[in-house]
A and B are shown apart, each in its own frame.
Chain A
């Protein structure tokens, strides 16, 4: 008979306990009656027969118990153990609640962080067969993913054999006409097969028809689910209606499903086929689109990369492309989507794991201390006949119960924490992290919770058992001598404390380094004054502002009106605000110098005359732009010092000429000024060379306004928006923010802030747990040695020597823990060096500071028991036995 069937049978008996007992009773009373009849038949009086039968049968209830024991699980003893455990806890609620709290914290944090790791790194992207989707682009020596030009894309699509389909996408923005005026909206231009390549079908309406993505195709648009819900009231008849984007009518052909997200497009609401192109986009060297492709079955990434590389090279030769040393890049799409958060998530997971470790060790040592305090109880139970198994089972039961409650509380903590953390991610960033929606208690996180709970249960059950088995009952009964068991425990407990301190050290060092990185990041040189700056993005409809004069007029009018607002010192326009990204790149040459095909990428910004002075950027040489630098005059440029250093070392750049190869604008720019480096790119990236051109000599319809004010810049924002709308209700106005908020909201700041805060939080908890653990060990050791200390003092030991006796032990534990922790910290910090900014993994000041902090905290924790030891009254101590 197999075990499972027996188990089921036992269970059925257990749950049908009543029936089992009554059947047994009936059976036995039948037996007794038969015996009685037999005896009467043998000539006994009925009364005598009754007693004889009873006698023969013995104690009926004992018999019943014996029968029951055969079938039962010893459920009663389990219940007894449980009841006893609970009684112990209610007698000492501090222990149980502390242990459960610590466990819940450790488990909750780990499971919550794992929830994010699972959603971001383990769960597949929500596309058909996502493993075969690749991000297919050009690549450059310094930039591994470089966008494609449209013409190259067409050739790549035509020539390749590795991909069953190849598509491109590129972000754009439109002015959506609504009943309350124009509103800028995010949109994405995609090639016709984009959704088929992803394997996504619209939930309403249809995908693009084949002809619609060719130049001159119809104006059609697919809505994102969010746009359908919020802008069109989730009406099913929306398909076939038209919508006004940039003063052109687009026909809505369908709605994308709710589950559809495409992280590189952020929260794009309108998806249009790529069927009209700007003059630039028709150039082979205008790199503006990102590619995705679906690998054919049996084609490896490496083979695809080799093929695309060859195609890229062939095209470069064929069209005589120089200037950039481009090749192809083929990378799995999920790598592109989650690549940035991967190191941070793994770091957080590591931190959470360490926190869990320290929590478990802490609770295990708490359990150990308690089992030590119960030596006499155990000894008495043993002496009264409890088998060792039974005694062990008591502790196992308590451990399991503790782990059970701890896990339950941990799940609650985890669920709460996942919700909280997901909400803390700012909305802009959340749009690029579609996996956030998948962060929840699901099969994966549930399984991990169960595994962690099981591990904890094993640890907590095993710890006291381990100790118990070494102990002789005899030792326990004579509580007086601190015996071998006490020493053994001390060693085990001490080792645990060393582990705790070492782990706390690692977490503190990590937090210290990340915190310092964050601090350095926030104090990185900006090259301008971000305080008292209000910013807003403006989009002018190209259909209204058609000519250069009209656009230039708009620029001037905006600056004029805003500058006259109360409290405003100055205002300027730029094609892109600082501290955003090193994008909008130009490839330049210096006039009069031979070109060797090297690629000179610089950030290109179009600014109004007052912009740089509004930022309070420092002019180093030459002049800034003036209103006179308009389209009628030769092109002029202001450069930053990085550009001057790179291209004009030891020369005066003023008067030199920059040329660039883009059509539609004067392509020669005379350098008239040099400014100190304004940080145009992200906080954590080195300053790039930057060229500034007058916005008057370009014709941007999409630009940002930066306003220097004497008051609180936040208070100015609504006024800015209303002023712009007064000027022209058709202007798209968005992202009104103070410059400081803008900087705080950048990805670099967010990532560094979140990792610093979270790891800092872990480290704070670890510090408390480690120090409390140390306190526990020292306090326990002092309590065990009260008599010894009493004897020493009776024999003339000074208080000072008692202090040193206790503190020496503490110092030894702390020192060992710190030493191990220090070595591990360097190792751990090297693992997270990619997250560090402006600080080395082995930064001595941080490591030293953290060690001093932990050392001081440890000494403070051990000072309390030392003082208690030193204030022992020898007479009391000697009488204590």
Chain B
């Protein structure tokens, strides 16, 4: 179990909020759905731990970037669905642009390092 977890790369710090917001752009999801969605979309590379997911969701709620609603799932169970708000959409755009700048900067550094 321990070795199993060690293999998976950690999320880049500060990207969890962005990932959650992104998964919510298509449809409202519950917490499990968000975790699952991130896992599938990343081809099982990224795993969101529950220990991070729920505090993160509370944070997003508090910032007003998502809204929560109790609804029934397809399997007829009550679950809390999170929905992106307009402010959340704006925040996502901001975080994506930040992230892209960061990635390209890291990319530039790394490509330079390879050449050397």
Cβ of B46 < 8 Å from any Cβ of A?
Answer: no
- Tell which of B1, B63, B77 touches A55, judged by Cβ atoms closer than 8 Å: B1
Q: Are A27 and B54 in contact (CB under 8 A)?
A: yes
Question: Which chain B residues lie closer than 8 Å to A646 at the CB level?
Answer: none
Residues of A within 8 A of B (CB): 1, 5-6, 9-10, 23-24, 26-28, 30-31, 33-35, 55-58, 62-63, 66-71
> Would you call A6 and B32 a contact (CB within 8 A)?
no
Contacts of B57 in A (CB 8 A): 67
Q: A1-B64, A55-B1, A70-B55 known; A27 and B30 CB under 8 Å?
A: yes
Residues of A within 8 Å of B87, CB to CB, are 1
Which residues of chain B have a CB within 8 Å of any CB of chain A? 1, 30-32, 35-36, 49-51, 54-55, 57-59, 61-64, 77-80, 87
- Residues of chain A contacted by B78 (CB below 8 angstroms): 26, 30
Cβ–Cβ < 8 Å partners of A31 in chain B: 30-32, 35, 50
Residue of B nearest to A52 (CB): B1
A56 CB contacts on chain B under 8 angstroms: 50
Closest A residue, CB atoms, query B34: A31
Q: List 24 A-B contacts (CB under 8 A).
A: A1-B63, A5-B64, A9-B62, A10-B62, A26-B78, A27-B31, A27-B79, A28-B50, A30-B32, A30-B77, A30-B80, A31-B30, A31-B31, A31-B35, A35-B32, A57-B50, A58-B49, A62-B51, A63-B50, A63-B51, A63-B55, A67-B57, A69-B55, A71-B61
Knowing A27-B30, A31-B31, A31-B32, say if A6 contacts B62 (CB, 8 Å): yes
Given known pairs A27-B79, A30-B77, A31-B31, the reply for A70 and B50 (CB within 8 Å) is no
A57 to B51, CA, bound (A): 7
- Distance in Å: Cβ of B48 to nearest Cβ of chain A: 11
CA distance in complex: A23, B36 (Å): 21
Chain A neighbourhood of B59, CB < 8 A: 70
Shortest Cβ distance from residue A249 to the other chain B in the assembled complex, whole angstroms: 80
Query: A27 to chain B: which residues have CB within 8 Å?
Result: 30-31, 54, 79-80
CB distance from A20 to the nearest CB of B (A): 9
Closest to B85 in A: A1
Chain A residues near B31: list those with CB within 8 A.
Answer: 27-28, 30-31
Which of A23, A31, A35, A63 is the most central at the interface, judged by chain B CB atoms within 10 Å of its CB? A31
In-complex Cβ contact of B32 among A23, A34, A55 (8 A): A34
A777 and B35 CA atoms in complex are apart in Å by 63
**A70 lies within 8 A of B30 (CB):** no
Q: How far is the CA of A611 from the CA of B57 in the complex (A)?
A: 98
Closest beta carbon of chain A to B106's beta carbon, Å: 29
CB distance from A28 to the nearest CB of B (A): 7
- Which residues of chain A have C-beta atoms less than 8 A from B62's C-beta? 6, 9-10, 70-71
Q: In the complex, how many angstroms separate the beta carbon of A839 from the nearest chain B beta carbon?
A: 68
**Min CB gap B29→A, angstroms:** 12
Q: Which of A1, A55, A57 has the most CB of B within 10 A?
A: A1
Q: Beyond the given A63-B54, A69-B55, please list 18 additional residue pairs across the A-B interface where CB-CB is below 8 A.
A: A1-B63, A5-B64, A6-B64, A9-B62, A9-B64, A24-B54, A26-B80, A27-B80, A30-B31, A31-B32, A34-B32, A56-B50, A58-B51, A63-B51, A63-B55, A67-B55, A68-B58, A71-B61
Q: A63 — which chain B residues lie within 8 A by C-beta?
A: 50-51, 54-55
The 8 closest A-B pairs by CB, nearest first: A1-B64, A70-B58, A34-B32, A31-B32, A66-B55, A67-B54, A67-B58, A67-B55
Give the docked Cα–Cα distance between A56 and B49 (Å): 8
Of B51, B77, B80, the residue contacting A23 (CB under 8 A) is: B80
Q: What residue in chain B is nearest A9 (Cβ atoms)? A: B62
* Least CB separation from A23: chain B residue: B80
Q: Which of A5, A9, A66 is close to B54, meaning CB atoms less than 8 Å apart? A: A66
Shortest C-beta distance, B70 to chain A (Å), equals 8
A31 to B78, CA, bound (A): 11
Given A26-B78, A30-B32, A30-B78, A66 and B64 contact (CB-CB distance below 8 Å): no
Instruction: Please give, as numbers and ranges, the residues of chain B lying within 8 Å of A70 by CB-CB distance.
Output: 55, 58-59, 62
Give Cα A63–Cα B52 distance, bound, in whole angstroms: 8
Across the interface, which residues of B come within 8 angstroms of A34, CB to CB?
Answer: 32, 36
What B residues does A9 contact at CB under 8 A?
A: 62, 64
- Docked Cα-Cα span, A553 to B52, in Å, equals 109
Q: Which of A10, A70, A71 has the most CB of B within 10 A?
A: A70
Name the CB-closest residue of B to A55. Answer: B1
Contacts of A23 in B (CB 8 A): 80
Taking CB atoms, residues of chain B closer than 8 Å to A1 are: 63-64, 87
Q: Does B58 contact A30, Cβ atoms closer than 8 Å?
A: no
Nearest Cβ in chain A — how far from B68, in angstroms? 8
Q: How many angstroms between the C-alpha atoms of A68 and B59 in the bound complex?
A: 10
Q: Which residues of A contact B1 (CB under 8 A)?
A: 55
A55 to B1, CA, bound (A): 10
Q: How far is the CA of A30 from the CA of B29 in the complex (A)?
A: 13
Chain A residue numbers with a CB within 8 Å of B49 are 58
Chain B neighbourhood of A67, CB < 8 A: 54-55, 57-58
Report the minimum CB–CB distance from B18 to chain A (whole Å).
Answer: 17
CB distance from A40 to the nearest CB of B (A): 14
Q: Which residues of chain A are near B61, meaning CB under 8 Å?
A: 71
A172 to B95 CA separation, bound complex (whole angstroms): 86
CB distance from B59 to the nearest CB of A (A): 5
Cβ-closest chain B residue relative to A1: B64
Beta-carbon contact of B30 and A30 below 8 Å: yes
Residues of B within 8 A of A6 (CB): 62-64
Which residues from chain B contact A10 at a C-beta distance below 8 Å? Answer: 62
Task: Give Cα A67 to B61, complex, Å.
Answer: 11
Residues of A within 8 A of B32 (CB): 30-31, 34-35
Please report the C-alpha to C-alpha distance between residue A152 and residue B25 in the assembled complex, in whole angstroms.
90
Q: Closest Cβ of chain B: how far from A58's Cβ, in Å? A: 5
Do A28 and B64 have beta carbons less than 8 Å apart?
no
Task: Say how far B94's CB is from chain A's closest CB, in angstroms.
Answer: 13
Question: In the complex, what distance in Å separates the CA atom of A561 from the CA atom of B57?
Answer: 101
Whether B50 lies near A58 (C-beta < 8 A) is yes
| A70 to B51 Cα, complex, angstroms | 12
- Which residues of the other chain, A, contact B79 by a CB distance below 8 angstroms? 27, 30
Using CB atoms, name the residue of chain B closest to A2.
B64
Complex Cα distance A28/B80, Å? 10
Tell which of B57, B58, B61 has the most Cβ of chain A within 10 Å: B58
Cα-based distance from A70 to B59 in the complex (angstroms): 6
Tell which of A34, A57, A62 has the most Cβ of chain B within 10 Å.
A34
A66 to B78, CA, bound (A): 23
Q: How far is the CA of A31 from the CA of B79 in the complex (A)?
A: 9
A71 CB to closest chain B CB (Å) equals 5
